[in-house]
Structure 1
């Protein structure tokens, strides 16, 4: 066993000569001690990998055959997941070698080993979806078979292989879904989302080919289902949990315990962040202590949720898995408010774009090798600083036009109003300022997409559906603007930030020293509208995204720990929409954190925005809300006012100054009687009352004088 472990170490270091020698010694020892027979097939398989890496395919084949024989001798007559694992590994080797029929045989055998009731060796046969259970090798076996059938279709053109491949990927993805349900913490679910992202890409590729061949709408429905399944599942689970905790009427003592554990986990995660920020002086042992405490709290939290579910049927009912939204249902739900939806899937080889309105739907595949990926990166790089954009503005506009044509194709715009667009991005597209794309070819005056379209974003159709149905019990509005006028904690002053909500009656404002983290944590859960005007960073180098208050820093884990019932959160900060892009989940940003906590709508930023232009845009935004405009309309019109203002020099009208903020989530006019209108109407009532009192006094005075006369 020690020789085997040592051989594994040499193999991973790339020392194939020593690895081969140590594996051979391990094999000899196992032959002499039959009690280690269960490990013998693994050594044969590892030796095969050594010869394969050396390029000695003949010897590799011999070792793989010996591995199969040894494994079946040991496990027969029973099925075993280790046999499924071995067959998957050998199937992958055969697929990479181009021996597709042999690869199919291996993957079919792997499926036989991993599905208890399935015994059909015919590659045309598959288990029923109902036979899928929580087992990781189900994913690999079914996806491997689907991948091989897809490769054989590309070689022979047999459409039956393509149809069979689609069924196999359905089984693999059902395996992903069930395994994800069994996982406790978000980190494990996000890891599984990253691991399984390739399955979704391959499934979309197969269904895209079927769509091109048959033009059957069922494949559009399927592609939508796959795109949705690949996005934001952890966020969906969080929204479901938040709703259950807030609205299911859980026992108050259990709620207090749930809050204590949730806040405690956030506190220890904050301590990890603060220790990391010490750089070379950080105490690694203390970080390990904090991480152990976080692990203990996570386990206790999971146990508490299980207990709540057992004792409270309403909570248990609220936590039942929500069925993914179907394309037909989503069309009915959303297209009264939106003209067209574009949903993206960013794969390793292609960017898939699904576009639909009430009557029509289509899907396109943009090969990333065509240059679109590089163009996206180069164009985004221009938004880092205004100087980078202005250095070659003509080239920036030209690239923006090329991207518009690639991403939107022949999109038609109404002549009498802006096109209402909902964009569900993926990958790098999630940080793309779509409004700054240029509709006109080189040489013509630029026409930005914002001038012809009204945009908003969503994490996924399923998340948006949950947000649409999220009840808001609170009505208070609050604005936090620390300003940092004295450069407190080394943060630069934000002199215009308090102006962003000027004229919004009924807005409670915490500015300067009063804009503290404890005040925010007290007010945020009871507010329907939260506006933050402060510093923030997207994180990096081991530090989580964070937002600054006058006295302290709120890190992303602390935002996850909030329980909000907010109609809108406005993050008038830098980089609040940026963060690490996780396949299968999205951008791990401050914006996502507030969505996770329960915000129905957000406005967040994509770069280090300009403070002066930001103040002007948000001031205009509130003025348009007061006039009854929807959130998307109000933000668009405020940006256009800035863009077309005669008081701005041309260099301050580039997209860097106005395109940084995007609306995510639910649209619509302000719900309830908002402070914008309530304050206005309240002021009118006060003025009317004052006028009435003055009139009465004058009238009384007039009567008195007449009587004295």
Structure 2
């Protein structure tokens, strides 16, 4: 057939198709108009749903339904139809590969169901199950488990054991993906007891195989899956989805065992099921399988084939164009995307194309960053930060490699940018959240509701910590947090703390500041050396694991477990401390009297650098040791980003509040050091001083909001199984989660107590401490203790801090001088010069001046009074004189 005739036929077919579509559009438009005239909202909704179900390309038509509806549903039938609309929109968006939009529609359906209590609607099947699965795809397992528990509650009311077993299966997936294998196996056991349905048990066995594979028991996992697959004679509409899961998991097992051929065979079997039984659907699963085949080809050293497959996976997810150009603006938050871009990066490395490799790793980091914006719970965000560190380390290695060959400084800045993306991001979110909260309209009803929910969460979390039966409040907290996450959808974008560009961060740093930022990876530790508002060097320290172990042992031995090891083995301490100093700073030059800011990472967050030994010649006299403190002033920051965004505001206020608990618990046993500290500060600084019973959560928050400087001296410790940082106010306790932001806050908080800078380490976030909590609610700087301290030493050091602050010195310099004063003062024992006694307190945050009013010296009042008495006496004498 001539080519010209073919063209005419194709053109004619296209014109005919347009005529048919136009006729369909006209018919549905007329039908909908008639239903609107009859005010029949129920049928109007179902007609739109049915039309798009038959014409999938018309999805925008379905998504416009809410805007085109002339009124809200009023009857039960209309509300069921409305829920059907929302769930259909969620399903269609998922099939189109837009997981975030899908979540939004399902969340709207969830909220609508509970608002109107439409119990006649099958909310488990059409909302809870897909919404929970969506959260799992996103990696938000806390919310997935919450929804899955909701599904079980709902099904339990109807005694639907088969679907309950299926819900337990989904919950098992969430738990095992989080690494909680005990809870996952418990869910599988519960599911198996509820039903003998072969399809559900097939799925439960698949999940069990996943767990066994994660636990490095591939032969057991393989045996289960092969038995499952063999039990099915052939794929059909009833078992296709289960077989798809079995082949995929079996492929993962073979891939982990490096049986590449068998892995590829299983992935292809799974792909054949999708192509046969779900043509045009299951795009996410299809893209995942194609990406896994790309990994197989890369490991088989066939990078070109691997690249073609990775690009195909991105086309399926609508990230790549047909010409394989990646549209960065189309990248959204999804675990699959992170994996695919990472795979492409590794493939480009194999092809020796480092620029392309780095670009794709950055795409993976972008997808990760978009995931975290969708997360609601801080614990979920912290887990994502931890999981993302290996990806960031790969990106840093690539950027540093490109710098070493090109000497282009943009790669040094890129290392800083990537490092900052791994640090204290949840803290940045909290700072941004609080800033946005007080910048918003105070009459915003949603804002007020959000504040009420946050307070309710804090109240119930307090009950968990303080009540004997506190565990029963956990479900209440989970429900409140989920409600807050739905409410926060409006504010999610504004509340996401962004990382400033390297140029903006560097230009915002104080002049003359020398900053050293550490990144602790799994293969190496990176030190970023920043001077004169620029990245001067990035150095790699080999042996991350061995250095981590050395630091952990050093901190535990000489600081956390008391002073005995330092007292009994001073030379060993000296040598180990100098070794650590040399390892950390061998690639930089520290100038005398400069200001050094340390942005720590990992276990380095537990270390005060002032007490590190800078020389290798041991001397018996501890007071003569070459401590880093004697060379320069050191302060700390959770991240550069947090440092520049939480700057002090000079309000001119000089108000001071001191909270002192001078006795043990409910007894009258005095804490002598606290009494001495309070008396010493009282003589120096004018302010509001509260003692013992006057100190409680109410007076704390009042002092926090009305003080430029806040001093707290009491016991502090870590409470409960989660090691919650806690301030002891005698009859009351203040937990970290109860710290609430206020419109006004101090520029400096001094926490003169044990372990106020201590807490659980969240990898990629830092130490979750009271010091961090004050930073989160907007305090520019805190002085806090890292370990249990000597009361006498801290009392003297804190008093000397105020002496130096009153002379106009910055908070960091004042702390530095106060420690030096301790070292330059004679003590009864040479042991008192050991760092354990004087080095616990560190300044975290902005090193700036603090306004204080000096207390009036009593001698001054005596002199004034005497002068007045003498003057009056003279006046009286002169008047009486004849």
What range is the shorter-chain TM-score in?
A: 0.7 to 0.9
Partner residue in 1 for 2:756? 576
Shift of 1:594: 1.5
1:254 and 1:484 map into 2 onto residues whose CA distance is 43
Give the SS at the match of 1:538.
Answer: strand
Equivalent of 1:605 in 780, 785, 795: 785
Change (3 A) 1:23 1:291: farther
Q: CA deviation at 1:101?
A: 4.8
CA gap 1:85/1:253 in 2 versus in 1, 3 angstroms: closer
Residue 396 of structure 1 deviates from its aligned partner by: 1.4
Cα 1:260–1:687 change in 2 (3 A) is farther
User: How far apart, in 2, do the equivalents of 1:414 and 1:8 lie?
Assistant: 58
| Alignment counterpart, residue 666 of structure 2, candidates 480, 488, 505 | 488
> Aligned match of 1:397 in 574, 591, 615?
574
2:212 matched to 1:9? no
Give the gaps of 5 or more residues in structure 1: 310-315
Equivalents in 2 of 1:65, 1:256: separation in Å?
Answer: 53
Q: Distance in 1 between matches of 2:444 and 2:206?
A: 57
1:375 maps to what in 2?
A: 550
Q: Please tell me whether residue 196 in structure 1 is matched to residue 374 in structure 2.
A: no
2:13 aligned residue:
none
Pick closer, same or farther for the CA change 1:77–1:261 going to 2, 3 Å. Answer: closer
Residue 135 of structure 1: aligned partner: 334
Give, in angstroms, the shift of residue 476 of structure 1.
3.3
Against the structure 1 CA distance between its residues 27 and 557, is the aligned structure 2 distance closer, same or farther, given a 3 Å change threshold? farther
C-alpha distance 604-564 of structure 1, shift in aligned 2 (>3 A) = farther
Residues 642-661 of structure 1: pairs in structure 2 closer than 5 A: 642-661=822-841
Match of 2:286 among 52, 60, 83: 83
* In structure 1, C-alpha distance between the alignment counterparts of 2:488 and 2:260, rounded to whole Å: 53
Provide the rounded CA distance (Å) in 2 between the counterparts of 1:691 and 1:393: 55
Distance 2:837 2:579 in 1: 22
Q: Distance in 2 between matches of 1:44 and 1:410?
A: 51
1:670-691 deviations in Å (ceiling 9; x for gaps): 14xx23x4x459x899789757
DSSP 3-state at the match of 1:547 = strand
Secondary structure of the equivalent of 2:799? helix
Superposition deviation, residue 644 in structure 1? 2.1
Structure 1: distance between partners of 2:258 and 2:439: 62
1:42 aligns with 2:248: no
Aligned to 2:695: 515
Query: Which protein has greater RCO, CA pairs closer than 8 Å, 6+ apart?
Result: 1
Aligned residue for 2:234, secondary structure, equals: helix
User: Using the alignment, how far apart are the partners of 1:537 and 1:233 within structure 2?
Assistant: 25
Which of the residues 235, 244, 250 maps onto 2:427?
A: 235
Deviations 1:481-536 (A, max 9, x none): 21224x527x9853211332232332322222322333324432333222111111
Task: Work out which of the residue numbers 533, 541, 561 in structure 2 matches 1:366.
Answer: 541
* Cα offset, 1:455, TM superposition: 0.7
CA RMSD between the two structures: 3.2
Q: State how far apart, in whole Å, the 2-side matches of 1:90 and 1:439 are.
A: 53
TM-score where L is the length of structure 2: 0.70
Aligned partners of 1:499 and 1:619 also within 8 Å: no
Find out whether 1:355 has 2:529 as its counterpart. yes
In 2: Cα distance, 1:70 partner to 1:192 partner? 32
Asked if 1:145 is matched to 2:344, the reply is: yes
Q: Which of 272, 297, 305 in structure 2 is aligned with 1:69?
A: 272
Take 1:392 and 1:256, find their aligned partners in 2: how far apart are those partners?
Answer: 58
Does the C-alpha gap of structure 1 residues 611 and 685 become closer, same or farther in structure 2, counting only changes over 3 Å?
A: closer
Aligned with residue 872 of structure 2, among 697, 700, 703: 697
Q: Does 1:340 align with 2:514?
A: yes
State the alpha-carbon separation in 1 of the partners of residues 627 and 338 from structure 2: 44
Shift of 1:214: 1.4
**Aligned match of 2:442 in 247, 250, 267?**
250
Q: CA deviation at 1:323?
A: 4.9
Aligned counterpart in structure 1 of residue 228 of structure 2, from 25, 42, 46: 25
Aligned pairs for 1:300-449 (under 5 A) are 300-302=483-485, 319=494, 323-336=498-511, 338-358=512-532, 361-368=536-543, 371-381=546-556, 382-384=558-560, 385-409=562-586, 411-414=588-591, 418-443=593-618, 446-449=625-628
Structure 1 residues 616-658: Cα deviation after superposition (integer angstroms, max 9, x where no partner): 1001111111111111111011111111212342111100001
Q: Number of residue pairs matched?
A: 669
Tell me, in whole angstroms, the C-alpha distance in 2 between the residues paired with 1:181 and 1:30. 45
Aligned positions of 1:482-631 closer than 5 A: 482-485=661-664, 487-488=665-666, 494-500=671-677, 501-539=681-719, 541-559=721-739, 565-631=745-811
1:452 equivalent in structure 2: 631
- 1:344 is displaced (CA, Å) by 1.0
Q: Distance in 2 between matches of 1:397 and 1:389?
A: 9
Corresponding residue SS for 1:532: strand
Q: Deviations over 1:154-185 (max 9, x none)?
A: xxxx3xx2111110111111112222222223
Indicate if the aligned counterparts of 2:709 and 2:850 stay in contact, CA closer than 8 A: no
Give the CA deviation at 1:90.
3.9
How far apart are the structure 2 equivalents of 1:96 and 1:269?
A: 48
Contact 2:525 2:544 in 1 (8 A): no
Structure 2 unmatched runs, 5+ = 1-198
**SS in structure 2 opposite 1:488?**
coil
Match of 1:273 among 465, 472, 481: 465
In structure 2, the residue corresponding to 1:647 is in which secondary structure?
A: coil
| Distance of 2:220 and 2:384 partners within structure 1 | 35
- Residues 475 and 295 (structure 1 numbering): CA distance in 2 closer, same or farther, change over 3 Å? farther
- CA 1:53–1:263 in 2, change beyond 3 Å: closer, same or farther? closer
Structure 2 counterpart SS, 1:345 = strand
> How far off its partner does 1:470 sit?
5.2
CA contact (8 A) 1:389 1:396 kept: yes
Counterpart CA distance in 1 for 2:507 and 2:259 is 59
Kept in 2: contact 1:11–1:19 (CA 8 A): no
Task: Decide whether the 8 Å contact of 2:264 with 2:293 is kept in 1.
Answer: no
Partner Cα separation in structure 2 for residue 253 and residue 689 of structure 1 = 57
Aligned-pair CA distance for 1:405: 1.8
* Equivalent residue number for residue 64 of structure 2: none
Task: Note if 1:114 corresponds to 2:298.
Answer: no
Q: Is the 8 A contact 1:517 1:551 kept in 2?
A: no
- Indicate the structure (1 or 2) with the bigger Cα radius of gyration: 2
